[in-house]
Amino acid sequence: MAEKSNLQIARASYQPKLPKALQGPVKAIEGAATQSVGNQAEIKELFPNTYGMPVVEFAQGTAAPSAKFNVGIILSGGQAPGGHNVISGLYDGVKALDPANKLYGFLMGPGGLVDHKYIEFTDALIDDYRNTGGFDIIGSGRTKLEEVDQFEKGYEILTELGIKALVIIGGDDSNTNACVLAEYYAAKGYGIQVIGCPKTIDGDLKNDQIETSFGFDTATKTYSELIGNIERDCNSARKYWHFIKLMGRSASHIALECALQTQPNICLVSEEVEAKGHSLDDIVSYIAGVVAARAAKGNNFGTVLIPEGLIEFIPAIKKLIAELNDTLATEEAKSVAREDQIEYVKAHLSPANLAVFNSLPADVASQLALDRDPHGNVQVSLIETEKLLSKMVGRKLAEMKKAGTYTGKFSAQHHFFGYEGRCAAPSNFDADYCYSLGYNASRLIACGKTGYMSVIKNTTAPAAE
Which residues are part of the catalytic machinery?
202
Beta bridge partners of 414: 243
Could you say whether residue 19 binds ligand FBP (CB under 6 A)?
no
Nearest to 454 by CA among 431, 436, 428: 436
Distance CA 221, CA 227 (A): 10
Distance CA 405, CA 384 (A): 28
192 and 166 Cβ atoms separated by less than 8 Å: yes
State which of positions 118-177 bind ligand FBP (CB under 6 A). Answer: 171
Distance CA 270, CA 110 (A): 31
Q: Are strands 163-170 and 193-198 parallel, antiparallel or unpaired?
A: parallel
* Residue 447 DSSP one-character state: T
Q: How far is the CB of 227 from ligand FBP (least distance, A)?
A: 16
In the complex with ligand FBP, the residue whose CB is nearer, 249 or 396, is 249
Question: Which range in 185-193, 241-249, 281-289, 444-452 contacts ligand FBP by CB under 6 A?
Answer: 241-249
Q: How far is the CB of 203 from ligand FBP (least distance, A)?
A: 10
Nearest to 242 by CA among 367, 364, 380, 393: 393
Instruction: Tell me how crowded residue 324 is: count the other CB atoms within 10 A of its CB.
Output: 21
In the complex with ligand FBP, the residue whose CB is nearer, 199 or 391, is 199
Instruction: Tell me how crowded residue 20 is: count the other CB atoms within 10 A of its CB.
Output: 12
Question: Which range in 75-83, 152-160, 180-188, 392-400 contacts ligand FBP by CB under 6 A?
Answer: 75-83
Give kind and range of the element (H or E) at residue 26: strand 26-33
In the complex with ligand FBP, the residue whose CB is nearer, 16 or 203, is 203
164 and 177 Cβ atoms separated by less than 8 Å: no
Q: How far is the CB of 271 from ligand FBP (least distance, A)?
A: 15
Contact pick of 133, 154, 248, 307 for ligand FBP (by CB under 6 A): 248
Question: Which range in 77-85, 325-333, 343-351, 457-465 contacts ligand FBP by CB under 6 A?
Answer: 77-85
Could you say whether residue 78 binds ligand FBP (CB under 6 A)?
yes
Q: How far is the CB of 22 from ligand FBP (least distance, A)?
A: 25
Residues that contact ligand FBP, how many (by CB under 6 A) = 13
Could you say whether residue 93 binds ligand FBP (CB under 6 A)?
no
Q: At what angle do helices 315-329 and 351-359 cross, to 10 degrees?
A: 110
Nearest to 141 by CA among 119, 167, 173, 109: 109
Q: At what angle do helices 385-402 and 280-296 cross, to 10 degrees?
A: 60
Pattern 365-404, binding to ligand FBP, x per CB under 6 A? Answer: ----------------------------------------
Q: How far is the CB of 150 from ligand FBP (least distance, A)?
A: 19
Contact pick of 217, 257, 308, 323 for ligand FBP (by CB under 6 A): 308
Contact pick of 77, 81, 134, 203 for ligand FBP (by CB under 6 A): 77
In the complex with ligand FBP, the residue whose CB is nearer, 308 or 432, is 308
State which of positions 408-427 bind ligand FBP (CB under 6 A). Answer: 418, 422
Strands (E), 171-301: 193-198, 241-246, 266-267
Distance CA 141, CA 88 (A): 20
Q: Is 420 helix (H, G, I), strand (E, B) or coil?
A: helix
Question: Which range in 36-44, 72-80, 128-136, 429-437 contacts ligand FBP by CB under 6 A?
Answer: 72-80
Q: How far is the CB of 153 from ligand FBP (least distance, A)?
A: 23
Could you say whether residue 430 binds ligand FBP (CB under 6 A)?
no
Distance CA 86, CA 195 (A): 13
276 and 268 Cβ atoms separated by less than 8 Å: no
Question: Which range in 65-73, 245-253, 268-276, 391-399 contacts ligand FBP by CB under 6 A?
Answer: 245-253
Q: How far is the CB of 78 from ligand FBP (least distance, A)?
A: 3
Q: How far is the CB of 135 from ligand FBP (least distance, A)?
A: 11
Sign of the CA dihedral running 209, 215, 220, 221: positive
Question: Which range in 115-123, 243-251, 293-301, 313-321 contacts ligand FBP by CB under 6 A?
Answer: 243-251
Distance CA 243, CA 272 (A): 19
Residue by residue, DSSP assigns 296-350 as HTT---EEEEEETTHHHHSHHHHHHHHHHHHHHHSHHHHTS-GGGHHHHHHHHS-
In the complex with ligand FBP, the residue whose CB is nearer, 78 or 112, is 78
State which of positions 177-236 bind ligand FBP (CB under 6 A). Answer: 200-202
65 and 160 Cβ atoms separated by less than 8 Å: no
Interacting residue ranges for ligand FBP, rule: CB under 6 A: 77-78, 80, 171, 200-202, 247-249, 308, 418, 422
